[in-house]
Structure 1
Amino acid sequence: MANPNDRTPHVPGQRQESPAVDGQALGFPEAPPVPSLDKEPWPEALRKWWDAAWNDGGFLHGRWEDLRRAPELGWHGMANWVKTALGLAGICAVLILLDGATDVLADTLHRLLTAAPRVQVGADTSSGVFAVIDQPIRTYIAAHSAALPISASTVYTVWQLVGIFGLVGGFFRSSGARLTWTAWGAASIVMVWDAAPDEGRTIATGLAVLAWTAASAFALRGLSLRPAIFTHIHNAAPAFEPHIHLPAPAASGADDAPDNVHPLQKR
């Protein structure tokens, strides 16, 4: 639209330039600034982030405070991420120990089974008081394991391992281990009675019973033969209903009115 006050003559064939118009004067919003193409170097940005993270309220400062206060707060008060880290570390340590212990146990078991056939059964390989119990058990195992697919020496080794399991497991109050210890002791006493010489059978069996009873002090510790008696005394509460009796007020002017009733006085 041409300005009526413009007196500039119009030349045919020449492009007429329109005057510049201010966008803010017409009410249009200001255009956003064009972002700079020059980015901040990453070492500088990393240094700023590191400084901000170690300030009060920063990420790394908060994690350090969690670690510093963990010993005084205890397991229930420390941060959850500290508990998770400790739990994972403990699991990794157990796995490493189990990995090493598996090889050791496998090697020990292999040596035990390999050495079992070299154990002499039925011979006088023990001496002293222990021989009174051990030799009849060896003789019984040698006489009754001929038809088994394993040797008598292996049976004797298994018998020893079962006794150790019952003794150690019973010490830690395992019910299954205590039952195993009881059955192992009864079987051992029966073997001593059957294979001991006729002249000393009673003495050998008595010593076996005494030895098994003495060892039971460790395997059956804390076990009492006294029956548990629970006494429950229930006393019913007496039927009692409180009642408050107030004397009826006497009529004014009566001669028999009590003289111990006084009105409250305000101070």
Structure 2
Amino acid sequence: MPSNRQMNGQPCPNNTLDQFELPPARKNKLARLRAAWRKSWQEGGFLYQRWEDVFQARHASWHEIATWIKAAALCAGGSLIVMMVDTAGDIASTTLKGLSAAPATGAGDGSGLWGTVDHPIRVFLADQAAHLSVAPAALYGFWQLTGLLGLIGGFLGNAGARIAWVLFGIGSLTMIWSAAPAGGRAAATGLAALMWALASIFALRGLTLRPIVHNHPPQYQFNPALHLHAAIPAAPTPAGDDFGDEPDNLHPLQR
């Protein structure tokens, strides 16, 4: 009786893997790839050296890090900055479009301390928007956004945000002076100046007008020294020397 490994006189495969046996050329190629992979991870191999660079970069300074790690970090950082700038541009564009499409809002009744300051600004922006292709609500929303960003950015110490906060305050005082009623113009402008000054305590936190003087020790050290040069007298001429009566064929030994 034929064995189970015989079928029609031909050997029967043991498992599924034997049915898909790779050709010799493919086997040789895979063997070379495995050998190259093992060799690259051995000491002195390509991947071994790259892994050592990554391991040493954790405790090294920027100048000691491998060049390929610096290049990869700079490329990744540049890509991240480009993505952030592109995203910020899209957000700003969407915000400005939303402000432009915002419906007009009422000018308010001007009651209370905040209304005394806010009402003239609304009136001024509404009058200016009549001559521009933008809604008064968009101008008012942009004015509020500028003040909010200047206040938060100035509190965090950003120089550009502090400049924007100063310009925001000057512009607000100018608009209030122009649009406030003539009888209460000075009071409304003064009240707005006091509010802006109080808010500047947070927006201009840490800002000082005093010059900063840095006292650094000198980078050089002067050590006076006295150098004495003593002249050594020449050896005396031995007695009996007739000054040049030696034969011409005799010369002193020179080194």
TM-score of the pair, normalised by structure 2: 0.58
- Structure 2 alignment gaps of length 5 or more: 1-26, 216-225, 227-255
Aligned match of 1:139: 123
User: What's the RMSD between the two structures over aligned residues?
Assistant: 3.5
- Structure 1 alignment gaps of length 5 or more: 1-39, 232-241, 243-267
Aligned match of 1:106: 93
Of 63, 66, 71, the residue aligned with 1:84 is: 71
Aligned match of 1:205: 189
AA aligned opposite 1:81: W
Q: Pick which of 134-143 and 189-198 moved more.
A: 189-198
Deviations 1:175-227 (A, max 9, x none): x6545443432332233234334554443222201011122223434433446
Counterparts of 1:205 and 1:103 in 2: how far apart (Å)? 37
Q: Pick which of 157-166 and 66-75 moved more.
A: 157-166
1:127-206 pair list within 5 angstroms: 128-164=112-148, 166-168=150-152, 170-171=154-155, 172-174=157-159, 178-197=162-181, 200-206=184-190
Aligned match of 2:57: 70
Q: How many residues align?
A: 189
Q: Which secondary structure state, in structure 1, belongs to the residue aligned with residue 101 of structure 2?
A: helix
Q: Structure 1 residues 44 and 185, CA, compared in 2 at 3 Å: closer, same or farther? A: closer
Identity of aligned residues (%): 42
Q: Structure 1 residues 89 and 152, CA, compared in 2 at 3 Å: closer, same or farther? A: closer
1:35-50 pair list within 5 angstroms: 41-50=28-37
Aligned match of 2:24: none
Counterparts of 2:83 and 2:128 in 1: how far apart (Å)? 44
Q: Structure 1 residues 180 and 60, CA, compared in 2 at 3 Å: closer, same or farther? A: closer
Q: Structure 1 residues 198 and 103, CA, compared in 2 at 3 Å: closer, same or farther? A: closer
Aligned match of 2:38: 51
1:205-244 pair list within 5 angstroms: 205-226=189-210
Counterparts of 1:87 and 1:122 in 2: how far apart (Å)? 51
Indicate if the aligned counterparts of 2:101 and 2:135 stay in contact, CA closer than 8 A. no
Indicate if the aligned counterparts of 1:53 and 1:59 stay in contact, CA closer than 8 A. yes
Aligned match of 2:246: none
Counterparts of 1:151 and 1:106 in 2: how far apart (Å)? 16
Counterparts of 2:43 and 2:67 in 1: how far apart (Å)? 21
AA aligned opposite 2:115: A
Q: Structure 1 residues 221 and 193, CA, compared in 2 at 3 Å: closer, same or farther? A: same
Indicate if the aligned counterparts of 1:121 and 1:153 stay in contact, CA closer than 8 A. no
Of 108, 122, 126, the residue aligned with 1:123 is: 108
Q: Structure 1 residues 57 and 190, CA, compared in 2 at 3 Å: closer, same or farther? A: closer
Indicate if the aligned counterparts of 1:133 and 1:192 stay in contact, CA closer than 8 A. yes
Aligned match of 2:13: none
1:24-35 pair list within 5 angstroms: none
AA aligned opposite 1:110: K
Counterparts of 1:112 and 1:208 in 2: how far apart (Å)? 25
Q: Which has the larger radius of gyration?
A: 1
AA aligned opposite 1:188: S
Q: Which secondary structure state, in structure 1, belongs to the residue aligned with residue 43 of structure 2?
A: coil
